[in-house]
């Protein structure tokens, strides 16, 4: 895959991540699924929590997909930082799902929740992979050390 191809793949993956986050936010609001990471609760409605950046039970905070899109867009200039940031956002999103109690109660999921969680985890993993691939292509190469 060429540098342009991996850049396009990273940006496309970031778009898919943003779309799945939008779906997850919609389902969180519709089904009133508050964010409770590690059993930490805030006395806010789900729409308010999403608006201020807390996230919801199945939706990452709004700034994560926005940052992923901006990082993917900037990853084409050859610097490894933006691609590493996209990779980290994908990993953080997967961890965020794992620390939410609702994720560990699949018996309580509606069809919409199942779809949103599945898409969000899939696109988060894809963002992690695409960011890592782009990072590995952008990072500076070191000359091998001389022996002796």
Give pLDDT tens digits for 67-109. Answer: 999 999 888 777 788 999 999 999 999 999 998 888 888 888 8
Q: Residue 17's pLDDT is what?
A: 96
Quick check: is 143 in a domain? no
Quick check: is 89 in a domain? yes
- CA-to-CA distance for 48 and 141, rounded, in angstroms? 46
Quick check: is 67 in a domain? yes
- Its pTM stands at 0.86
Q: Residue 148's pLDDT is what?
A: 54
- CA-to-CA distance for 83 and 101, rounded, in angstroms? 30
Residues of the chain with pLDDT under 50: 1
Domain that holds residue 100: 3-138
Quick check: is 146 in a domain? no
* CA distances to 73, 80, 86 from 59, in Å: 23, 27, 17
Quick check: is 145 in a domain? no
């Amino acid at each position: 895959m060429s540098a342009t191809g991996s850049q396009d793949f990273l940006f496309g993956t970031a778009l898919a991540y943003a779309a799945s986050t939008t779906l997850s936010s919609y389902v969180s609001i519709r089904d009133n699924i508050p964010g409770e990471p590690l059993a930490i609760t805030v006395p806010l409605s789900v729409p308010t929590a999403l608006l201020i950046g807390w996230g919801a039970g199945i939706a990452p905070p709004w700034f994560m997909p926005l940052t992923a899109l901006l990082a993917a867009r900037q990853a084409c200039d050859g610097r490894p930082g933006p691609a590493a940031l996209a990779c980290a956002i994908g990993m953080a999103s997967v961890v965020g799902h794992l620390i939410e109690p609702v994720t560990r109660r699949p018996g309580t999921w509606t069809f919409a929740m199942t779809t949103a969680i599945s898409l969000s985890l899939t696109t988060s993993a894809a963002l992690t992979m695409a960011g890592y691939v782009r990072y590995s292509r952008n990072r500076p190469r070191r000359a091998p050390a001389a022996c002796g």
